[in-house]
Amino acid sequence: MKRLIKGGRILDPASGRDEILDLLIEDGRIARLEKDMKDRDGGDVFDASGLAVMPGFIDMHCHLREPGYEYKETVATGCAAAVKGGITSLMCMANTDPVNDCASVTTHILERAHEAGLAKVYPVGCLTKGMRGESLSEMGELAASGCIAVSDDGRPVPSGEIMRRAIAYAGIYGLLVIDHAEDLTIAGDGVMHEGYVSTMLGLEGIPASAAFSEVARNIALIKEFGGRIHIAHVSTAMVVGLVRRAKAEGLAVTAETCPHYFTLDHEAVIGYDTNAKVKPPLRTAEDVEAIIEGLADGAIDVIATDHAPHHADEKQVEFDLAAFGISGLETAFALTMGLVHGGRIPILQAVSKWTDAPAAVTGIRGGSLGVGEPADVVIADLDAQWRVNPEEFLSRGRNSPFAGMEVRGQVTATFVDGRLVYTREKGITGK
């Protein structure tokens, strides 16, 4: 089975390519990239003229909610939202019900993903048994059944000793440890960033030090005992600084941020918008600036969504009672393009944060248009203007603080292993 993607602007950070080329897909893999290729073998031709052609995005931080919270999202609806957002591979966090701390849950998720047949799903297992922070999870079994990382995302690991042992133990099975960094003894019952906005609104704050304290601890552990760690959803200037210094020292530390942390600050909460309630919280304008600088200078390797879909009922309540999280799969690309259009980050670097960079951090195959790679390809109109309307989301989670925002950059088609799974015109086009 052949397919020719003709006339598109190839953006492939792995090879540094930014040029108009035709791309030939054969048997689900990238076969060739050439100028003016002839479609002599009669394969399917996809006209990409005027559009960007990029490796499928890898989102290393999602919540798919299945099993247990299917009313918020299922693996199938999450994967549909993903491919609409250009994401062809994603990692789903373990805070389901039951939590993903054993082979049966991992297998269940993988089976659901296989049935959906859209994005490729890589489960993240629990770091501790039952996500209780007390004893190590069965990481060998989790790795053997398909997990590629471990994390107690959503619940930081309070015990430094458990964290130390987990980093060492995960290494045996090649599992990446993803750190949801938050010192709960500092964060307390906070519901938003602690600053003048929390003061004005009379809401309990989460100090920026809460993130710093935990990241500093974990970097110290790596420095003394070795191993590697990935810092999830960096939201503060202080943590960007910590990670930058750790990298300069040659420590095996990588980091991600999310589109909301470089697009919004804590003022988004004014009016008690529960859709802007997220953990870690939206920080200050200075933090936003530091995050963008961190993306530009490489302190932050990866952009991930931290897609956290919730039911409307969990958001249409008093701010203190609302669930934390943003449904992010379908806005991530446009918000990333916001940095490019704003002149903050060159296009290839922005694409890299979604492709070869997360591939390098996670070991997921893909993230490149190199010959022989899986034909996970995203076609996008980099300039298309559109207005975010959560009612049109394929995700069950409509919780977006970006509702109504004018954005620029839109995915027009997504291929997974050479199969066209989504187009802007037809929606989900197949399994």
Partner 1 sequence: MIGNNRHLLDLDTTSAEDIRRILDTAEGMKEISTRKIKKVPTLRGKTVVNLFFEPSTRTRTSFEIAAKRLSADAVNFTASASSTAKGETLLDTAKNLDSMAPDVVVIRHRFSGAPEILARNLDCSVVNAGDGCHQHPTQGLLDLFTVRERKGRLDGLKVSIIGDIAHSRVARSDISGFTTMGAEVFVSGPSTMIPTGIERLGVRVADSFEHALEGADVIIMLRIQLERRSGSLIPTLREYARFFGLNRERLRLARPDALVMHPGPINRGVEISSDIADGPESVILDQVENGVAVRMAVLYLLTGGSDETTD
Based on the shown chain and the rule CB under 8 A, indicate whether residue 285 belongs to the binding site for partner 1: no
Based on the shown chain and the rule CB under 8 A, indicate whether residue 286 belongs to the binding site for partner 1: no
The CA distances from residue 431 to 76, 114, 394, 419, 428, in Å, are 10, 9, 15, 8, 8
Catalytic residue among 152, 306, 356, 376: 306
Smallest distance from the beta carbon of 209 to partner 1, in angstroms?
11
Which is closer to partner 1, CB of 204 or CB of 293?
A: 204
Which is closer to partner 1, CB of 161 or CB of 313?
A: 313
Which is closer to partner 1, CB of 261 or CB of 319?
A: 319
The CA distances from residue 116 to 80, 99, 146, 317, in Å, are 8, 21, 17, 33
Please count the other Cβ atoms lying within 10 Å of the Cβ belonging to residue 383. Answer: 13
Upper half-sphere CA count for residue 420 (Cβ side, 13 Å): 18
Distance CA 65, CA 34 (A): 42
Distance CA 103, CA 144 (A): 8
Q: Which of 276, 148, 142, 280 is nearest to 208 (CA)?
A: 280
Give residue 20's identity as a one-letter amino acid code.
I
According to CB under 8 A, which one of 198, 368, 410, 412 is a site residue for partner 1? Answer: 198
Q: Which of 191, 235, 199, 198 is nearest to 214 (CA)?
A: 235
Stretch 300-339 residues interacting with partner 1 (CB under 8 A): 313, 316-321
The CA distances from residue 360 to 116, 355, 356, in Å, are 26, 9, 6
Based on the shown chain and the rule CB under 8 A, indicate whether residue 374 belongs to the binding site for partner 1: no
Q: Which residues contact 392 (CB under 8 A, 6 or more apart)?
A: none
Which is closer to partner 1, CB of 198 or CB of 395?
A: 198
Q: Which of 207, 147, 102 is nearest to 362 (CA)?
A: 147
Stretch 76-115 residues interacting with partner 1 (CB under 8 A): none
Smallest distance from the beta carbon of 201 to partner 1, in angstroms?
6
Smallest distance from the beta carbon of 266 to partner 1, in angstroms?
10
Q: Which of 183, 111, 184, 173 is nearest to 144 (CA)?
A: 173
Smallest distance from the beta carbon of 65 to partner 1, in angstroms?
21
Is residue 154 a contact partner of residue 180, using CB atoms and an 8 Å limit?
yes
Q: Which of 119, 157, 28 is nearest to 332 (CA)?
A: 119
Smallest distance from the beta carbon of 56 to partner 1, in angstroms?
40
Which is closer to partner 1, CB of 104 or CB of 199?
A: 199
According to CB under 8 A, which one of 45, 186, 201, 220 is a site residue for partner 1? Answer: 201
Which is closer to partner 1, CB of 172 or CB of 285?
A: 285
Smallest distance from the beta carbon of 133 to partner 1, in angstroms?
23
Q: Which residues contact 91 (CB under 8 A, 6 or more apart)?
A: 59, 60, 61, 62, 121, 122, 123, 124, 148, 149, 362, 364
Smallest distance from the beta carbon of 315 to partner 1, in angstroms?
11
Per rule CB under 8 A, count of chain residues that contact partner 1: 21
In the residue annotation, 12 being an active-site residue is answered as no
Can you tell me whether residue 91 is helix, strand or coil? strand
Which is closer to partner 1, CB of 275 or CB of 414?
A: 275
Token pair recorded at residue 364: 């997921």
Distance of CA 55 to the CA centre of its chain: 15
Distance CA 199, CA 205 (A): 8
According to CB under 8 A, which one of 111, 196, 249, 404 is a site residue for partner 1? Answer: 196
Distance CA 248, CA 35 (A): 40
Which is closer to partner 1, CB of 172 or CB of 321?
A: 321
Based on the shown chain and the rule CB under 8 A, indicate whether residue 199 belongs to the binding site for partner 1: yes
Smallest distance from the beta carbon of 73 to partner 1, in angstroms?
21
Interaction pattern, residues 206-225, with partner 1; x per rule: CB under 8 A: -x------------------
Stretch 235-274 residues interacting with partner 1 (CB under 8 A): 271-272
Residue ranges binding partner 1 (CB under 8 A): 194-203, 205, 207, 271-272, 313, 316-321
* Residues that are catalytic: 306
